[in-house]
Each structure stands twice: as C-alpha cells, then as structure tokens.
A and B are shown apart, each in its own frame.
Chain A
Amino acid sequence: KQEVTQIPAALSVPEGENLVLNCSFTDSAIYNLQWFRQDPGKGLTSLLLIQSSQREQTSGRLNASLDKSSGRSTLYIAASQPGDSATYLCAALNTGNQFYFGTGTSLTVIP
C-alpha cells in the first residue's frame, strides 16, 4: 500500500521568505502527484498536478518538482505572504485511481 509522508508537520516563516515543503512516497508506480491547499474549515483546492512523466510544474510563485525514482516531491513557495498560511497536502494518485494523501504541512507566514 502506498504511504505518503510530509515533512515538516508544521512550519512558521516570516513574510517574504522562500520555503520548501517535502513529500515522499513509497511506491513509485504513480499516475501523478498533486499538491493541495486546505484552509481551516474548508475543503481542498488543487494547486499543482505533476504527471508521472513530468519533472516539475509551475504556477505563479509555486513550483512543484517530482522525482519518481527517489519517491520524492517538493513544493517551493517563493516570496511567501501571510495569505499563503494554510495546510498543504500532497497526494499520489495510483493507477487504480485512488489518491493517497500525506498528513500535511501546516504553514504559518508571519507578517
């Protein structure tokens, strides 16, 4: 069974800093990997999706990378802002169409 781990569990940074969130998965036979954002009391919003054949995806200040061979993905956030404060989840989609989620990294950006 796929296991997804996210480190760190919580992160606090001052506004303006660049930061990296880490995600690792045990089974490299994934269809794709996604990064989601979850705000308190809300559902999940997809940020970036990386297909298994891709190495990275970018959207604005966000950049996600994927290294299937090592079972790792990172989410890079440039010039962090207080509005980036949320929980970030990574999820691996296996070939059986099932998502396996990590437990998330809770990010706080201090003004």
Chain B
Amino acid sequence: DAGVIQSPRHEVTEMGQEVTLRCKPISGHNSLFWYRQTMMRGLELLIYFNNNVPIDDSGMPEDRFSAKMPNASFSTLKIQPSEPRDSAVYFCASSLPLEPDTQYFGPGTRLTVL
C-alpha cells in the first residue's frame, strides 16, 4: 500500500483565497483524522471521521474551515477565506476500525498564506 496520500505537498496562496487540501486514506481504514501543526501550538486535532461521518469537529478553529469525506477513499479540508495565521503543516492520518491508537500519518501539506 502507498500509505496515506496528501496533496498538494506545498501550497502558497494569498490572503483571502480559498485553499483545498486533499487526503486519500489507506484502503480499508475507516477512520480519518485531520491535524494542524504549528511551532507555537504543536500538533492539534482538527476533526475526525468514522465511516465517512464527522465525529468530533471541536478542533476546527473557525467557520472558515470545513472538512468533508464524500466516500471512504477521499477527504478534503477547505479554508475559505484563508488568512496568514492559517500557515501551518496540515496532516491527514487514517486508522483501522476500532484501532484509533494505530494511526498512519501522511507526509503533510505545508501551507503558506501570504
């Protein structure tokens, strides 16, 4: 298996633009997690899905952030409009059913908002 796939790997955009980050989990994994990593706050959970259904989105910082999982093999994290303080590395992770402690992380998307 190719592991968790994220795209793009790097994104540079201007303030106010819409940004869409993509994630393909490992086949057979039914839990998907979105994290954000910054120097100041470390790695924080934004939202996670079980069987394509959002379970906990309490980590989503603002209404500008939204996440979807239309099917078991694809998820998006969208920021609209983007702001410079959204600059961070965004990680996606997936896990097998009933094994949330065994999460496999993607390589991350480094987002820079100018």
Contacts and interface: CB of A to CB of B under 8 A. Distances in A.
B7 interface: no
A91 B93 CA distance: 14
Contact of B56 (A41, A93, A96, A102): A96
B77 to A, nearest CB: 15
A99 B45 contact: yes
Contacts of A23: none
Interface string A81-108: 0000000010101001111011110000
Interface footprint category on A: 20 to 34
A104 B42 contact: yes
Contacts of A104: 42
6 contacts: A44-B105, A46-B103, A49-B102, A89-B43, A101-B42, A103-B42
Contacts, number: 44
Interface residues of B, number: 19
B31 to A, nearest CB: 8
Nearest to A100: B45
Interface string B87-107: 000010100000011110111
A5 B33 CA distance: 22
A42 B107 contact: yes
Given A42-B107, A43-B4, A44-B91, A98 B101 contact: no
Looking at chain A's contact residues, the main secondary structure is strand
Interface of B: 4, 33, 41-45, 48, 56, 91, 93, 100-103, 105-108
A98 B107 contact: no
Contacts of A98: 45, 48, 56
Contacts of B43: 44, 89, 91, 101
A31 interface: yes
A34 B91 contact: no
Contact of A34 (B56, B101, B106, B107): B101
B45 to A, nearest CB: 6
